[in-house]
């Protein structure tokens, strides 16, 4: 019994040490910095002025709130659209047909691709100097590539949303395919024999069955896209700017005092994501209790 | 009440070296309860799925009340299938599960509630409407699945292995319930099973299927007394098969001349097999019988409580006889005996 317990403790210790060191050593120290604690420049006092500055000061408030709105819009839109595309893709591809393996491969291809590469790919394809713009100009659809709609580096974040859809749809797709394959088609066949048409089978059978997995995957994708830096940095504009880019710019500021604002912004991003995750767990636990 | 006709039905699947269903023909009368009986993989469920429209046949036709079902989509056929593993929607409670078909038809909530209550009463589960499927036992889930199918007032009810997932005591209960409900609603019903006892206890008629082919389609009693071929006879526990020649209206078998009263005499080929149930063979140590009486030697005696099973060698043909243990002569291994195959109990088969 004692040996078993020791074995468990020994096997849990290394990952726990890493988590604790990172959390308390990194994030906790970052949190202290966001409260103004910076011994390197002689600041030891703890206060919330960096948070106040970021959210309410005349200098940063507009940037912050417009950035937060853009963050929420981009994360919600890209998560929702990626999930929708993946769901319809998975529903179409799960049936047996010639070329299924190829379709499966193409759909999953983006998964191992780094976000940075996807962002650069977006510029190559969708920017006003990109392939599509030049092709449209060549075939006379538009008079010059400059007339191509602004899809990359636009203030509504379309380019960023497109990049996330392109990338995250593969993640949703793989999860949905495994769920749909494990469910089989019996529930749908049953519903069909009970009189459900195609739409009703989707609405009352497929959607409720895949929803728990789809929702979990959505939380992961939303949390990632809310806090990720590289895609908005490459495909975003200066104003409005997504919060992770804004936070990083605070860090790049030669004025070391700005680090507190940068850290406060990072903590706010982390808090929003954490609230979302806690809400998700509360919802799932409530559902389990209800069941 | 609906009459189903299956004509020349064929279904092939890629990778199979024989058709999954091969030229099946059968008629099911209104209100009948028919069993599709056969071993796993013989094509029973495939036929069921073609009737529902979940599979399209490669050839043949299926008509319900003289109207072909083939051009009608599954959801409009009025043919409801209860699957082997019940498939209650896990995210719905019992009321919602049972009311599903009416909701799909756009029936108002009040009517749905009333009909759900009616159906749950019918399957004797009146108080579980708010429970989720995982809070139900296997037997309860099966009843809910049945209620969910019946609420749709199906023209044809299909049950895929309805009792196979239940414990022995629940099987009896469920069998009784299916029979009562089927008779009460008079709904034409087909059920699939691999258990011959279940088929015999429930069905008006049994369609015996092997390797995608219909072997025999008749009443349960006939399977015991008048099987169509050796395969059918063996599936129902037949063990006695004697080769015979049929010439000049006389049957000469490998155990001797045989008087025959079967009503299929005009259909018998020149070469045939005779069969008789073990319980219909009589034995005597001393007395010869007036007809179909043969002499043999007991090769084994197996006592199994109420009955005793004897193996008898007659002219190098092994026959089995089952007699009630009480009141029989003291017959032992190696005893010479007379056996009697009554002419009204013996049955001839062409293959």
Tell me if B100 and A186 make a contact (CB, 8 A cut-off).
no
Domain holding A164, by residue range, is 61-290
Q: Which CATH architecture has domain B241-349?
A: Beta Barrel (2.40)
- Testing the interface with A: which of B55, B64, B74 to mutate, by most A Cβ within 10 A? B74
**Whole-number Å distance between alpha carbons of A257 and A255:** 5
SS3 A7: helix
Within a domain: A49: no
Strand B205-210, strand B213-218: pairing: antiparallel
A:B CB pairs within 8 Å = 60
Q: What distance in Å separates the CA atoms of residue A71 and residue A74, rounded to the nearest whole number?
A: 5
Mean pLDDT of B179-185: 90
- pLDDT average, residue stretch B96-125: 94
For B88, which residue in chain A has the nearest alpha carbon?
A187
Give me the CATH number covering residue A134: 1.10.3720.10
Interface touch B87/A187, C-beta < 8 Å: yes
User: How many structural domains comprise chain A?
Assistant: 1
Q: Average pLDDT for residues B297-308, to the nearest whole number?
A: 89
Give pLDDT, residue B2. Answer: 76
- Residue A127: both structure tokens together: 């920017």
pLDDT mean by block of 10 residues, chain A; 291 residues: 82 87 81 88 88 92 94 95 93 79 80 87 88 91 87 88 92 92 89 94 93 90 91 89 92 86 92 87 76 59
**Tokens 């604790």 sit at which residue?**
A20
pLDDT for the residue B241: 94
- In order of A65, A291, B162, B285, the CA distances from B170 in angstroms are 64, 26, 11, 45
For residue A196, which residues of chain B lie inside 8 Å, CB to CB?
Answer: 75, 100, 104
Q: What is the domain partition of chain B in residue ranges?
A: 4-225, 241-349
Q: Which CATH superfamily is domain B4-225 in?
A: P-loop containing nucleotide triphosphate hydrolases (3.40.50.300)
Cα distance from B289 to chain A (closest Cα, Å)? Answer: 59
Three-class secondary structure of residue B258 per DSSP: strand
Instruction: Identify the residue among B104, B134, B147 best suited for mutation to test binding to A, counting A beta carbons within 10 A and taking the highest.
Output: B104
pLDDT of residue A200: 95
Alpha carbon distance A28, A51 (integer Å): 16
Give the model's confidence band at B1: pLDDT under 50 very low, under 70 low, under 90 confident, else very high: low
The answer as to whether A238 is a domain residue is yes
Q: Which residue has the higher pLDDT, B267 or A75?
A: A75
pLDDT above 80 for B49: yes
So what's the pLDDT on residue B327?
Answer: 58
Residue B295 has pLDDT above 60, yes or no: yes
Read off the DSSP letter of residue B280: G
Closest to A245 measured CA to CA, from A265, A260, A259: A265
Shortest Cα–Cα distance, B81 to chain A (Å): 6
- The pLDDT assigned to B167 comes to 82
Specify the DSSP element, H or E, that contains B251.
strand B250-253
Asked whether residue A40 is assigned to any structural domain, the reply reads: no
The torsion angles phi and psi of B15, rounded to 5 degrees, stand at 90, -5
| Mean pLDDT of the B15-23 span | 90
Distance from CA of B77 to the nearest CA of A (A): 8
On chain A, the residues whose CB falls within 8 A of the CB of B55 are none
Q: Among partner residues B90, B101, B134, which is closest to A194 by beta-carbon distance?
A: B101
Per-residue confidence (pLDDT) for residue B144, from 0 to 100: 95
What is the DSSP code (8-state) at residue A204? I
Cβ B295 vs Cβ B341: under 8 Å? no
CB B69 within 8 A of CB B79: yes
Residue in A192, A208, A209 closest to B75 by CB? A192
B-chain residues near A208 (CB < 8 A): 89, 91
ipTM above 0.95 for this complex: no
The predicted pLDDT at position B329 comes to: 62
Pairing of the two strands B336-340 and B293-304: antiparallel
Give the pLDDT confidence score for residue B334 in this predicted structure: 87
Do B349 and B228 contact (CB within 8 A), yes or no?
Answer: yes
Q: Which residue has the higher pLDDT, B114 or A145?
A: B114
Chain A residues with CB under 8 Å of B107 CB are: none
Among A219, A228, A236, A230, residue whose Cα is nearest residue A160? A236
Answer for the pair B206, B223: CB distance below 8 angstroms, yes or no: yes
A7 occurs within a structural domain: no
DSSP B20: S
pLDDT of residue B30: 92
Quote the CA–CA distance of A274 and A268 in Å, as a whole number. 10
Least confident of B47-51, B241-245, B287-291, B339-343: B287-291
A75, part of any domain: yes
Q: Is there a contact between B89 and B100 (Cβ–Cβ < 8 Å)? A: yes
For B132, the closest of A189, A192, A291 (CB atoms) is A291
């Amino acid at each position: 019994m004692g040996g078993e317990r020791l074995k468990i403790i020994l096997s849990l210790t290394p990952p726990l040490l890493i988590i604790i060191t990172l959390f308390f050593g990194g994030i906790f120290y970052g949190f202290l910095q966001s409260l103004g604690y910076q011994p390197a420049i002689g600041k030891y006092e703890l206060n919330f002025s960096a948070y106040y500055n970021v959210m309410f000061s005349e200098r940063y408030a507009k940037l912050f709130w417009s950035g937060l709105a853009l963050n929420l819009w981009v994360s919600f839109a890209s998560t929702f659209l990626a999930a929708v595309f993946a769901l319809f893709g998975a529903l179409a591809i799960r049936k047996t047909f010639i070329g299924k393996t190829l379709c499966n491969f193409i759909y999953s291809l983006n998964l191992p691709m780094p976000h940075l590469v996807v962002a650069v790919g977006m510029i190559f394809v969708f920017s006003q100097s990109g392939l599509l713009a030049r092709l449209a100009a060549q075939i006379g659809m538009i008079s010059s590539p400059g007339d191509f709609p602004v899809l990359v580096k636009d203030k509504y974040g379309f380019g960023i949303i497109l990049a996330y859809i392109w990338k995250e749809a593969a993640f949703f797709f793989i999860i949905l395919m495994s769920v749909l394959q494990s469910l089989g088609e019996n529930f749908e066949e049953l519903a069909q024999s009970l009189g459900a048409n195609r739409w009703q089978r989707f609405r009352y059978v497929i959607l409720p069955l895949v929803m728990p997995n789809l929702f979990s995957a959505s939380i992961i994708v939303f949390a990632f896209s809310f806090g990720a830096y590289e895609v908005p940095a490459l495909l975003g504009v200066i104003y409005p700017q997504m919060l992770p880019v804004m936070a990083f710019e605070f860090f790049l500021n030669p004025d070391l005092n700005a680090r507190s604002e940068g850290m406060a912004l990072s903590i706010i991003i982390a808090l929003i994501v954490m609230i979302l995750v806690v809400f998700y767990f509360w919802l799932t636990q409530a559902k389990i209790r209800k069941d | 009440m609906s009459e189903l006709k299956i004509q020349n039905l064929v279904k092939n699947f890629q990778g199979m070296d024989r058709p999954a269903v091969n030229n099946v023909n059968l008629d099911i009368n209104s209100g009948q309860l028919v069993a599709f009986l056969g071993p796993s993989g013989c094509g029973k469920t495939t036929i069921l799925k073609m009737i529902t429209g979940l599979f399209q046949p490669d050839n043949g036709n299926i008509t319900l009340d003289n109207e072909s079902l083939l051009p009608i989509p599954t959801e409009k056929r009025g043919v409801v299938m209860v699957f082997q593993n019940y498939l209650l929607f896990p995210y719905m409670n019992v009321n919602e599960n049972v009311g599903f078909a009416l909701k799909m038809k756009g029936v108002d909530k009040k009517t749905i509630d009333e009909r759900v209550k009616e159906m749950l009463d019918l399957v004797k589960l009146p108080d579980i409407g708010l429970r989720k499927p995982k809070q139900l036992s296997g037997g309860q889930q099966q009843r809910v699945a049945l209620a969910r199918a019946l609420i749709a007032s199906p023209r044809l009810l299909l049950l895929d292995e309805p009792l196979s997932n239940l414990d022995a005591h629940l099987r009896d209960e469920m069998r009784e319930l299916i029979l009562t409900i089927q008779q009460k609603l008079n709904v034409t019903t087909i059920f699939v099973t691999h258990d011959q006892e279940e088929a015999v206890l429930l069905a008006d008629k049994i369609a015996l299927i092997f390797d995608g082919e219909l072997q025999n389609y008749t009443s349960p009693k006939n399977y015991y007394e008048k099987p169509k071929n050796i395969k059918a006879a063996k599936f129902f526990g037949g063990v006695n098969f004697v080769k015979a020649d049929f010439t000049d209206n006389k049957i000469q078998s490998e155990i001797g001349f045989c008087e025959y009263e079967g009503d299929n005499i005009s259909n018998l080929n020149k070469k045939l097999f005779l069969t008789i149930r073990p319980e219909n063979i009589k034995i005597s140590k001393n007395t010869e019988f007036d007809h179909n009486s043969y002499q043999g030697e007991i090769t084994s005696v197996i006592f199994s409580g109420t009955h005793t099973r004897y193996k008898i060698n007659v002219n190098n043909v092994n026959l089995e006889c089952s007699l009630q243990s009480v009141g029989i002569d003291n017959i032992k291994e190696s005893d010479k005996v007379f056996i009697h195959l009554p002419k009204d109990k013996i049955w001839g088969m062409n293959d």
